[in-house]
Amino acid sequence: MNPDPLPVVPSPRAHRWRQFRLIVLPYLTFGLVLTAVVWLWGRNLANPLLTGQAEAREADVASPRPGRISQLKVVLYQEVKAGDVIAVVDAADPMILSNTLALAKAEMDAIRVDGSFRPTDKVRFAELEFEWLNLRSELTTLQAEVNFARLELKRATKLLEDKIVSQEVYDLALATFNAKEFTFTEKQKVVNEMEEKIKELNPVNTEASKYVNAALAVAEQKFRVAEAQLAPITLVAPISGRVRTLTKLNGATVSTGDPIVTISSEDVDHIVGFLSQPLRLEPKVGDQVTVRSRGLKRVVGIANITQIGPRVEMFDSPLRSRGTSTDQQRGLPVVVSVPSNLKLLPGELVDLTINKKPASGS
């Protein structure tokens, strides 16, 4: 005789939940975490996150020859447009070209001695031309002295307004400038009158006069070079933007090629990022890139790779992926276009994500 089976004792829900938490939940949690890690790892490999920096065009304004800044027209962070006057550079020293003028005089004297001129009308005409060139050389040097005296007068005027120098120093600078300017004006009149006389007394060309004229043409060109070097240079802005740096001040002496002002454009031209080593993919021109700004309101835009660097280069920590270290590391530079919906400032950092599969074998 078989006994009747006992009824199943019902298990409380709290007991079942406890059994689930002790036996099933750990394995389920581990599986979910493992799946998330694998998914994130694959997404990170396929879309590496790197930091990019917005870049804009910059241009240096430099002097093509040594000189002294007589007028500086801009201040730091001033907005300028292409073609605006940035500075005026004068010759550093009025006597800096005296050797060139002295050489031209010596050559003219040598021509006069070697020519064995006789006291005829042609010879007197040649002598008049020599004298005219001598006066022009003196006029060129005097013009440089007038420019230098004008700079000293401006400097004395500024110092007098700031009560740094006395009235006597200003009066001396003013008198020197007036004297130089008067002498220059009078000598200019003499040179112009002599030039007209030479045109009137020009004799018939002969073999001797042709030789003299050729030599005078050479001397004339040397004088033109000296005059051009003594003339002030006006430096203009090559691009529109803002003055980023001022390396020289008004009255400073500059050498050839020394940057005086650096102008930075306000429009971001491109974004530069670096793929750090080991390279997890091979970027190609045209690859799509997601650009995310860093701000209270993050803006996302789509761009493309426009250029790829030819070699792995060193880059600083600001371009590392959210790095704070001051160390440098190596990476492959990539140039990315600027999304139209992002308003970036030059030097601003953004996050870049390359939307492509990892390279085979990586």
Tell me the CATH architecture of domain 48-55+269-354.
Beta Barrel (2.40)
CA-based torsion, 49, 51, 54, 55: positive or negative: negative
Q: Which fold, 98-231?
A: Helix Hairpins (1.10.287)
What tokens were used for 246?
A: 């001022």
The reply to whether domains 48-55+269-354 and 98-231 share a CATH topology is no
Name 144's Cβ contacts closer than 8 Å, sequence gap at least 6. Answer: 91, 94, 95, 97, 230
Name 284's Cβ contacts closer than 8 Å, sequence gap at least 6. Answer: 305, 308, 356
Cα separation, 160 vs 192, whole angstroms: 38
Closest CA to 293 of 108, 52, 114, 127: 52
Distance of CA 140 to the CA centre of its chain: 33
For the chain, 362 residues long, give each residue's pLDDT as a single digit of tens: 566 777 777 778 888 888 888 888 888 899 999 999 888 776 555 455 788 899 999 999 998 888 888 888 899 989 999 989 999 888 766 565 566 666 666 666 666 555 544 445 555 666 666 677 777 777 777 787 888 888 888 888 888 888 888 888 888 888 888 888 888 888 888 778 777 776 666 654 445 556 666 666 776 777 677 666 677 888 999 999 999 999 988 888 888 888 999 999 988 989 999 888 777 788 889 989 989 888 778 888 999 999 998 888 888 755 554 445 556 788 889 999 999 888 888 888 898 888 865 444 43
Quote the pLDDT of residue 80. Answer: 92
Quote the pLDDT of residue 359. Answer: 41
Between the CA atoms of 70, 75, 76 and 82, what dihedral angle is there, to the nearest 10 degrees?
Answer: -90
Quote the pLDDT of residue 211. Answer: 62
Place of tokens 């990315």: 336
> Do the Cβ atoms of 138 and 186 come closer than 8 Å?
no
> Do the Cβ atoms of 62 and 230 come closer than 8 Å?
no
What DSSP character marks residue 11?
A: P
Quote the pLDDT of residue 127. Answer: 63
Per-domain residue ranges for the chain? 12-46, 48-55+269-354, 98-231
The beta-strand segments (E) located in the chain are 49-62, 67-72, 79-80, 85-90, 233-236, 241-246, 253-254, 259-276, 288-293, 300-308, 313-315, 329-336, 349-354
DSSP-derived secondary structure for 40-98:
HHHHHHHS-EEEEEEEEEEEEEE-SS-EEEEEE---TT-EE-TT-EEEEEE-S-TTTTH
Cα separation, 284 vs 298, whole angstroms: 27
What DSSP character marks residue 24?
A: I
**SS3 category, 325:** coil
Helices (H) then strands (E): counts for the chain: 6, 13
